[in-house]
Structure 1
Amino acid sequence: MLHAKIIDTSKKESIEISKAENFLNQSKFGAIIYFVGTVRDLNENKLVTGITYDTKDSMVIRSFEEIYEDADNKLSIKDKAVFIEHVKGYVGLKEKSIIIGVACKHRDQAFVLSRYIIEEIKKRSPIWKKEHYKNKESEWLKGISLNN
């Protein structure tokens, strides 16, 4: 069971942990973990005020689906429910940029799966970040190379 969605901030949408809770509470699993990524105030000694995320929505959703499916083979976690929402557009300081919720039969599986999903999203999903700084400058950040 997978919920995967891009939330467009320009359409006044937002990601909420309550949506993840509602989705995961439909599952029959007892171990539920939430990962919430937020915009932090400092990156590489630069004062950050916000981030603009850009995505190729259909490709991002497909990458989320592939990561979910790969968990069967790589982690042997077949019984699971996964909720993933990532923002597209501008997100201010301390605002949520991603929510990942996982439900599994056992807590160890839930921890392992949650970590696997966020690391794979960072490596595989076409999501670009433009940081905005207190000095009014901004820059697109380099992504993770799949060849590293």
Structure 2
Amino acid sequence: MVLALATSGGGPQSHTAIIARSLGLPAVVAAAGIEAIDDGVEVYVDGAAGVVVPEPGEPERESAAKWAVSAATLAPFDGTGTTADGHPVPLLANVGNAKDAEASAGMGAQGVGLFRTEFCFLERDTEPSVAEQADAYRAVFAAFPGKKVVVRTLDAGRTSPCRS
């Protein structure tokens, strides 16, 4: 089971960071020195503080336990976003497929800020057919009927080719 992520590279807008946020996983990207941590070593990851501690001691264990309790007791999110002074802010999801869109709609997202269509091409040996792509788009739009959906179309080329 994956409980957190730590990487030696990347940044806050990297694919890893975005996916970790969408999954609700604590994550630290560009963590210095993590390559030196041996496989199988227990690690404490505090994504908010950007801290990775191999072989955590009692303070880190207590912090993790407190976080788990507070996360479990949070009030359910109603999907409403507002600034501190009460101005409404639309909460839009970052999705890569219909499953993401359905989950985001179920959690109260008010639309899609970015539908990353390149995910239709990932983890495949061949590119999806036009019909498969249309089905994927249709499913995302169906999760947010009448709502805003921003679509970023695939930009494949020399620097980011598709597998063939």
TM class by smaller structure: under 0.3
Of Structure 1 and Structure 2, the greater strand share is in 1
For the pair shown, the structure with the greater C-alpha radius of gyration is 2
What's the TM-score, normalizing by structure 2?
0.21
* Structure with the larger RCO, 1 or 2 (CA within 8 Å, 6+ apart): 1
